[in-house]
Amino acid sequence: MEHSDIPGSHKRRRISAMYQRRRAVTACLPCRTRKTKCDNIRPTSAIPFFSSPNANHRSWWDRFDPASLAILERVNHVIELLETPSSKSPHRIGSSGIHNKPDRSDFISSYDDQIANDLNAQDELRVDTPGFPATINSCEGVLRWPIFNNLAPCTQSFVFETEIKNTQTSNASVSLGGSVQDDDMVLLAERFLSYVHIKNPVLNVSGFKRHVRDVAMNGLRWDGQSCLILLACALGCVAVPFNSIGDWEDLPSVAVPQAAHKDSGATYYLAAKKRLGLIEPSWLRIQCLFLCGVFEMYSMRPLCAWEYFKQACGQLENLFWKQSLTTPLGEDDHADESRQLQQRLYWSCMKSEFELRCEIPLPPSGIARFNLSDVLPSPPAEVLLPLSQEELDHGIPVPAVVDHDEERSWFYYLAEISFRRMMDRAFASIGGDGETDWITNFQQLRVRHRLFQEQIEFWCSHIPPPISFNEREELNHELAHHIRARETSFREWIHRPFLYYVVHQPLDDPFVAEAIPLARECLALCVKQQLMIPPHLHHGTWFQARNSMTRALLLIAAAKCGKIELPGNWKQGLDHAFQTLRYWARNAPDLEKAADALQELMDDVVTLL
């Protein structure tokens, strides 16, 4: 038998090689992320919805001809090469025109690739430990540092200690004599969209506006949509526009809602809660539960907010589970709009729950392990759709296609999600074994510190220009202001272990000299972040007040140990922290108790200096 007759001989020419090979069909995003084979069944692959609710193809590509699609494929391939972790030069996404609109979350996709295994199994168990990360992160956790022994009352949680008093106060403060004004609903709904929804886009804006107009014309009903509108109006009463200018001694009137507005908000809120119990388990009910939690945070009642957020998380789990069992593979009985809403609710509820667990030792709901955290939420179609050549020829104006405020809101929302992932990992990796690990494993701590320094630099370099910040400029845009605060708080946290090390170790310790510069950086970041906090009421004001207490304690610890040179303006930062805490303590008994403890410590420091 000749060699050419052997089956499978290498000399045999394949007929298919004579023709140009057709490019393989692109897999959907989740399948590419999971590195699994995609069957390209539209609108989703055969991966169950429960496992990956966002395995949708970008249907707007169908509007382009094959040649344009080929060009787009090559451009996407180049982008993927540029955004691999091996890329040494971070870059920013341009936003000069609509034709360069990034696909959903492109600006953080490279970050997610860098930490594709977001939390390993051990870290995930740590994050879901009851009480963690409050035990390592909260102001009560810092108060338990050895240097504060016998100087302040030891407390497990200021929140729990004042729970009974807080409940009595909140029940007595609800106004029962007011009435809902239908004529004000349109204006209040607009205020809600402008000041609240931009940070947690859990509603479909066009549908919400349509229901508001219907209620304004025909009156309220005893249904879920009326409950949702009443909650939005309640938040519209208490929400105020952002203003970074002003100080605590001369508080601008626009920084906080007036008493009359608070009473009106309580009236709308009470009317909404009367309808909440009538809503069957549904995505609409979860929206209402989430907004109830947001209103409670505006009212400085974190434990009440926790109850609503936890209920929302529990119902999310139930609905996703039922949906995974009833939706056949390859089919989807929900429109893209509904799917996007579900993703947003998942992320908002999970993020809100974890933020509270960072300050209060509470048990997790388990939603973080629901196997959905690898899928980012999808923005509304109008934020992403590029203009086709036909639309350009017809002169469709850009504002008709893209709402730039909505676009900015989505950039912020996705940046918040990527930050939350990074913060979760930092808590688990650096703080998972407690403060004693900072002393016994200093060299490993340095390695982790360098890793997270690189990650925060990477995160900052991928913040899109519409929400980016400049250190040399005064920020008067709320979303950019919050992004800068996130960046500073993360840097402070990863430097905090070195402050602990210097404060509690003798000067002749072999690693103290290496730790002192990092401890000084922690103190500088504390002062920097404290002085950038404006007198502004929003969803996260209670967290800001608590963090002010924590930063003040870090400064006091450094002052007491006498081993570290304090920043030149540390006293200004300390006074600012106390003013912040004392002002918001008017509405929150737990903050009042914290302010009293801080006052005692400040008096002690004054006698020492």
Q: Residue 522 above 90 pLDDT?
A: yes
Range of the domain at 398: 122-608
Q: Residue 49 above 70 pLDDT?
A: no
Residue 58 located in a structural domain:
no
Residue 269 located in a structural domain:
yes
Residue 580 located in a structural domain:
yes
CB atoms within 10 A of CB 249: 8
pTM of the model: 0.77
The 10s digit of each residue's pLDDT in 427-436 is 999 999 999 9
Query: What confidence tier does 325 reach under pLDDT thresholds 50, 70, 90?
Result: confident
Residue 533, beta-bridge partner list: none
The 10s digit of each residue's pLDDT in 168-189 is 444 444 445 467 877 899 999 9
The 10s digit of each residue's pLDDT in 547-570 is 999 999 999 999 999 999 999 999
Give the pLDDT of residue 98: 31
Query: What confidence tier does 32 reach under pLDDT thresholds 50, 70, 90?
Result: low
Distances (CA, A) of 199 to 108, 196, 415, 479: 17, 6, 11, 8
Mean pLDDT of the chain: 78
Q: Which residues contact 17 (CB under 8 A, 6 or more apart)?
A: none
Residue 198 located in a structural domain:
yes
∠ CA 555-556-559, rounded to 5°: 90
Residue 76 located in a structural domain:
no
Residue 363 located in a structural domain:
yes
Q: 503 with 145: CB under 8 angstroms?
A: yes
Residue 44, beta-bridge partner list: 56
Query: What confidence tier does 337 reach under pLDDT thresholds 50, 70, 90?
Result: confident
Query: What confidence tier does 55 reach under pLDDT thresholds 50, 70, 90?
Result: very low
End-to-end CA distance of the chain: 99
Give the pLDDT of residue 305: 97
Q: Which residues contact 432 (CB under 8 A, 6 or more apart)?
A: 122, 123, 126, 132
- Lowest-pLDDT choice from 242-256, 282-296, 318-332, 512-526: 242-256
Q: Residue 295 above 70 pLDDT?
A: yes
Structural domain count of the chain? 1
The 10s digit of each residue's pLDDT in 355-401 is 999 999 999 988 877 666 556 777 766 565 444 445 445 554 444 33
Give the pLDDT of residue 519: 98
Give the pLDDT of residue 482: 93
- Summarize the confidence of residues 590-608 as an average pLDDT: 88
Give the alpha-carbon dihedral of 35, 40, 44, 46, to 10 degrees.
-70
Residue 109 located in a structural domain:
no
The 10s digit of each residue's pLDDT in 112-135 is 444 434 445 566 667 788 889 999
Query: What confidence tier does 92 reach under pLDDT thresholds 50, 70, 90?
Result: very low
Q: Residue 101 above 50 pLDDT?
A: no
What element of type H or E holds 448? helix 442-461
Residue 96 located in a structural domain:
no
The letter for the amino acid at 405 is D
Distances (CA, A) of 585 to 167, 537, 541, 548: 15, 13, 11, 12
